[in-house]
């Protein structure tokens, strides 16, 4: 895989990375769990697609390589503090999280399909997701984050769905993980990290703030929507 990155990807993606406002790169990419996970997924997808004469390589470039490289080159991404001039800097730690109180997720520890790696969303978030998505979250103008993510119904629903998608996608050894990142994880995390999103009032320093309320809803006039006729069911 390192050969694939050095000899293949590195030659295709020649970018201006010495001025970090445009694109950032870390020459020690292998020190970044996210970069390793994405580039490994990219390599597997390449192995599965490059022989396909019906446009496999084009598909791989557009649907796999370009979006992953965009994430890695992003000045707010995993290489934020690294650079060609400064070299690697070990600044970004795992996303800070506090474990939920006992009992909060007990109902989620029910049955799971055979072969799943994580028993529930909490274990998935603690042991995988937070390790992979290392972002600058203490200065919230960049990305918002709440260490008590489990206090936010939206985060619980999105991350639970993300865990299930991961368990499903990884069963496709070639394109599975690459698709999981691009089609599920990146868009979901973008919603959560959005400074105007569900974690708007929470910060890593001050902790969880219960400011975001349910969407206000006034009861609709009676008869406006008719319930489905139960006799038709
Ligand atoms: Zn680095
Ligand atoms: Zn919060």
233 residues of the chain, pLDDT tens digit each = 889 999 999 899 887 777 667 889 999 999 999 999 999 999 999 999 999 999 999 999 999 999 999 999 998 899 999 987 778 999 999 999 999 988 777 666 667 788 899 999 999 999 999 999 999 998 767 899 999 999 999 999 999 999 999 999 999 999 999 999 999 999 999 999 999 999 999 999 989 998 656 677 788 888 888 776 666 65
Tokens (6 digits) for 72 = 């890695």
Q: How far does the centroid of ligand 1 lie from the alpha carbon of residue 6, in Å?
A: 16
Does residue 60 belong to any structural domain of this protein? yes
Does residue 26 belong to any structural domain of this protein? yes
| CB neighbours of residue 102 within 10 Å | 7
**Residues lying with their CB under 5 A of ligand 1, a single-atom ion:** 26, 82, 88
Q: How far does the centroid of ligand 2 lie from the alpha carbon of residue 32, in Å?
A: 27
Q: How far is CA 23 from CA 16, 80, 150, 187, in A?
A: 7, 9, 33, 20
Q: Let me know: does 110 contact 116? Beta carbons within 8 Å.
A: no
Q: How far does the centroid of ligand 1 lie from the alpha carbon of residue 145, in Å?
A: 22
Instruction: Compute the distance between CA of residue 37 and CA of residue 26 in angstroms, rounded to an integer.
Output: 15
Whether residues 181 and 128 share a domain: the answer is: yes
Q: Let me know: does 179 contact 173? Beta carbons within 8 Å.
A: no
Whether residues 123 and 61 share a domain: the answer is: no
Instruction: Compute the distance between CA of residue 202 and CA of residue 150 in angstroms, rounded to an integer.
Output: 12
Domain end position, chosen among 73, 97, 114: 73
Buried b (16+ CB within 10 A) or exposed e, 204-220: beeebeeeeeeeeeeee
Q: Let me know: does 64 contact 57? Beta carbons within 8 Å.
A: no
Domain end position, chosen among 174, 193, 212: 193
Cα torsion 130, 114, 178, 155 to 10°: value is -40
Whether residues 115 and 184 share a domain: the answer is: yes
Q: How far does the centroid of ligand 2 lie from the alpha carbon of residue 125, in Å?
A: 15
Whether residues 166 and 114 share a domain: the answer is: yes
Instruction: Compute the distance between CA of residue 45 and CA of residue 177 in angstroms, rounded to an integer.
Output: 9
Q: How far does the centroid of ligand 1 lie from the alpha carbon of residue 90, in Å?
A: 7
Whether residues 115 and 167 share a domain: the answer is: yes
Whether residues 65 and 119 share a domain: the answer is: no
Report angle CA 220, 223, 228 to the nearest 5 degrees: 105
Whether residues 111 and 185 share a domain: the answer is: yes
Q: How far does the centroid of ligand 1 lie from the alpha carbon of residue 82, in Å?
A: 5
Q: How far does the centroid of ligand 1 lie from the alpha carbon of residue 81, in Å?
A: 7
Whether residues 180 and 128 share a domain: the answer is: yes
Q: How far does the centroid of ligand 2 lie from the alpha carbon of residue 144, in Å?
A: 10
Does residue 86 belong to any structural domain of this protein? no
Domain that holds residue 45: 2-73
Q: How far does the centroid of ligand 2 lie from the alpha carbon of residue 206, in Å?
A: 10
**Residues lying with their CB under 5 A of ligand 2, a single-atom ion:** 146, 202, 208
Q: How far is CA 100 from CA 77, 111, 205, in A?
A: 27, 20, 18
pTM of the model as a whole: 0.86
Provide the number of structural domains found in the chain: 2
Q: How far does the centroid of ligand 1 lie from the alpha carbon of residue 66, in Å?
A: 20
């Amino acid at each position: 895989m390192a050969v694939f990155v050095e000899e293949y990807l590195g030659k295709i993606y020649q970018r201006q990375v010495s001025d970090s406002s445009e694109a950032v790169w870390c020459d020690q990419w292998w020190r970044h769990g996210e970069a390793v996970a994405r580039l490994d997924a990219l390599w597997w997808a390449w192995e599965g697609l490059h022989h396909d004469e019906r446009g496999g390589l084009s598909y791989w470039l557009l649907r796999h390589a370009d979006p992953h490289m965009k994430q890695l080159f992003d000045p707010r991404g995993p290489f934020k503090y690294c650079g060609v001039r400064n070299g690697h800097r070990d600044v970004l730690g795992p996303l800070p999280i506090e474990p939920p109180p006992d009992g909060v997720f007990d109902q989620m520890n029910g049955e799971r399909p055979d072969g799943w790696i994580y028993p529930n969303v909490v274990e998935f978030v603690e042991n995988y997701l937070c390790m992979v998505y290392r972002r600058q979250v203490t200065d919230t103008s960049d990305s918002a984050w709440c260490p008590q993510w489990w206090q936010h119904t939206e985060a619980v629903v999105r991350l639970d769905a993300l865990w299930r998608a991961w368990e499903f996608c990884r069963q496709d050894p070639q394109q599975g993980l690459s698709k999981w990142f691009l089609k599920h994880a990146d868009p979901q995390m973008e919603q959560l990290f959005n400074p105007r999103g569900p974690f708007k009032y929470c910060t890593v320093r001050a902790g969880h703030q219960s400011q975001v309320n349910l969407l206000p809803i006034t009861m609709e006039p009676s008869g406006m929507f008719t319930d489905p006729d139960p006799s038709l069911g």
